[in-house]
Chain A
Amino acid sequence: MSYRRRRRGSRIRPYTFTGGRTRSRHPLMVQTLISTADPSIDPPRNLMPESERILLLCRETRSVAEISAELKIPLGVTQVLLSDLADQGLVYIHPTITGHSPSENQVLERALRGLERLFQ
């Protein structure tokens, strides 16, 4: 048994999976937009100060990168805090368009039309 446990221990190197950081269960990329789920209520009292600041900030939708920059919280930490807030149903994670499936082509075309309007 101890043999098996040791083998397993040597096989599973957590940072191999996580890339050295805590990978959130939610698709939180730098560009992913976040909104406070219910902006009309005050943040729960048991939250960490950083999480509370995120909830207040995201009453207006912004990206993970913007949250990190505005609150001066490193990206990795921001992602973990957001993941926890999402688990508690306190934030809404918006869809992110990657263009990797043909079903998203319509959105890419919309993006192109947007660019054409802005940059003639």
Chain B
Amino acid sequence: MVSNDSSSDTFSKMSTKIVIAGGFGAGKTTLVGSVSEIEPVTTEAVMTEASVVHDDTTAVPQKVTTTVAMDFGRITLDEELILYMFGTPGQARFWFMWDDLVRGAVGAVVVVDPRRLADCFDAIDYFEQQQRIPYIVALNKFDGQLNYTGEEIREALEISDNVPIIDFDARDRSSAGHVLKELLVHALANSGSQSELVG
């Protein structure tokens, strides 16, 4: 190494990740764009769906290759710590790639358009069932007000009592930043019980 100082600076960097989920058009990319220090980037993941078809009994398994685009943004939290936000494809047929994306995430935000609750059923189901990654639900106020209370939505979507539900405006930087803070507070509160599960 030429310079010890600069190299130790470089190598001491670390990163972490949160996942932004929700139905198509719920405001995931808007949320990422409001808080990211870079323009949201789209990268393509070529996924092979063969492993998902567990009940495939044909002798020659057919591999189906799908290209899935995902958006991500970045926030430099301090000199050594970078947070990445990954927006997941909303369509249910891309669910197979979620395990891969969610693996190693500190937590997840499910963005909900309160006018189209059904669109987020799949995402809520996913996080309710996996029980590993702490998640919160963020209701995107498109027209400035909500027609339902958080508790009505909790009941409608069968969200666990311990999952925070907050409302926000995905277009507003400070409001979107508040969602991320809420998620980290929730993740910190859950880290004890999680470690018990992991053993």
| Interchain nearest-CB distance for A21 vs B (Å) | 6
B45 at the interface (CB under 8 A from A): yes
Q: Is the CB of A31 within 8 A of B16?
A: yes
Question: Range of interface residues on chain B?
Answer: 35 or more
A44 at the interface (CB under 8 A from B): no
Given A65-B43, A75-B44, A94-B13, A102 and B192 contact (CB-CB distance below 8 Å): yes
Q: Is the CB of A119 within 8 A of B187?
A: no
- Which chain B positions have C-beta within 8 A of A119? 35, 173-174, 176-178, 180-181
List A84-102 residues whose CB lies under 8 Å from chain B: 92, 94-102
Given A65-B84, A75-B43, A114-B78, A99 and B191 contact (CB-CB distance below 8 Å): yes
Q: How far, in angstroms, from A20 to B61 measured CA to CA in the complex?
A: 11
List A4-50 residues whose CB lies under 8 Å from chain B: 13, 15-16, 18-21, 27, 29-33, 35, 38, 40
Given A20-B50, A100-B194, A105-B191, A116 and B15 contact (CB-CB distance below 8 Å): no
Q: Is the CB of B72 within 8 A of A65?
A: yes
Q: How far, in angstroms, from A6 to B14 measured CA to CA in the complex?
A: 46
- Which chain B positions have C-beta within 8 A of A76? 45-47
Q: How far, in angstroms, from A69 to B84 measured CA to CA in the complex?
A: 14
Specify which of B13, B72, B75 is in contact with A118 (CB 8 Å cutoff): B75
Q: How far, in angstroms, from A27 to B45 measured CA to CA in the complex?
A: 17
Specify which of A16, A31, A108 is in contact with B15 (CB 8 Å cutoff): A31
B159 at the interface (CB under 8 A from A): no
Q: How far, in angstroms, from A19 to B78 measured CA to CA in the complex?
A: 35
Of chain A, the residue at the smallest CB distance from B38 is A66
B101 at the interface (CB under 8 A from A): yes
| Interchain nearest-CB distance for A15 vs B (Å) | 5
List B78-130 residues whose CB lies under 8 Å from chain A: 78, 81-84, 86, 100-101, 103-107
Q: Is the interface of B mostly helix, strand, loop or mixed?
A: mixed
- Which chain B positions have C-beta within 8 A of A51? none
Q: Is the CB of A112 within 8 A of B42?
A: no
Given A119-B178, A120-B174, A97 and B51 contact (CB-CB distance below 8 Å): no
Of chain A, the residue at the smallest CB distance from B179 is A119
- Which chain A positions have C-beta within 8 A of B105? 98
| Interchain nearest-CB distance for B110 vs A (Å) | 18
| Interchain nearest-CB distance for A25 vs B (Å) | 16
A1 at the interface (CB under 8 A from B): no
Q: Is the CB of B100 within 8 A of A33?
A: no
| Interchain nearest-CB distance for A50 vs B (Å) | 15
Greatest chain B CB density within 10 A among A30, A33, A65 is at: A30
Q: Is the CB of B177 within 8 A of A111?
A: no
Q: Is the CB of B45 within 8 A of A74?
A: yes
- Which chain B positions have C-beta within 8 A of A111? 16, 77, 81, 83, 106, 184
Top-3 shortest CB links A-B:
A119-B177, A114-B77, A20-B48
Q: 9 A-B residue contacts at CB 8 Å?
A: A18-B51, A19-B100, A33-B15, A63-B84, A98-B104, A99-B106, A99-B194, A101-B198, A115-B177
